[in-house]
Amino acid sequence: MIRPILKYGDQTLHEPAAAVDALTSEVDRLIGDMIDTMYAAPGIGLAAPQVGVALRIFVIDLSLGHDPAGLIVMVNPRFVERDGMQLEEEGCLSVPGFNATVVRPSRAVVQGLDRSGTMHEKDATGLLARAFQHEMDHLDGTLFVDRLRGVKRDLIVRRIRKLSRAGKW
């Protein structure tokens, strides 16, 4: 089931999410819905807070559903390692219409549970490393906009406020 994606300004997006206690059928349904919602958007990643659930879960698929092996589900993820630096354009389903260059480590090793509760680890570089860090940020209540410096950030925030006031956000 496709769930509505919250946008910048909604409180759930700006607060840290809680760890998942148990992989209940409700959590499994949530993960299924997150996958459906990510593919429908379409997007390459989605975190639970983006659909209004403050739990530490994200899904990523750089293939947008074209490669069955491309789907990654991470429950209660943590960074094992991060190094290097990359500077690329980034966007977010919760900040539609805006992109900005964000500095991120170029490599990230992430460990977490998969949908069945098995611990797995991914060693990622490039776009996947960026996606991991973007989604991990969501679990801590941070959006890419928050990672921008002064003027750039203010510009986007001002435009969003304007759209909000006009009822277009």
In the complex, residue closest to Zn ion by CB: 92
Among residues 75 and 145, whose Cβ is nearest to Zn ion?
145
CB of residue 92 to Zn ion, shortest distance in Å: 3
Q: Which stretches of the chain bind Zn ion, using CB under 5 A?
A: 92
CB of residue 153 to Zn ion, shortest distance in Å: 15
Among residues 14 and 23, whose Cβ is nearest to Zn ion?
14
How far is residue 7 from each of residues 107, 126, 161, measured CA to CA in Å?
28, 26, 12
Point out the catalytic residue in the list 88, 90, 121, 135. 135
Name the residue among 98, 103, 163 with its Cα closest to residue 137.
103
Residue 153: how many other CB atoms lie within 10 Å: 15
Residue 169 in contact with residue 163, Cβ under 8 Å? yes
Among residues 17 and 92, whose Cβ is nearest to Zn ion?
92
What SS3 state is found at 96?
coil
CB of residue 24 to Zn ion, shortest distance in Å: 25
Q: Is 15 a catalytic residue?
A: no
In eight-state DSSP terms, residue 141 is T
Q: Which residues are catalytic?
A: 135
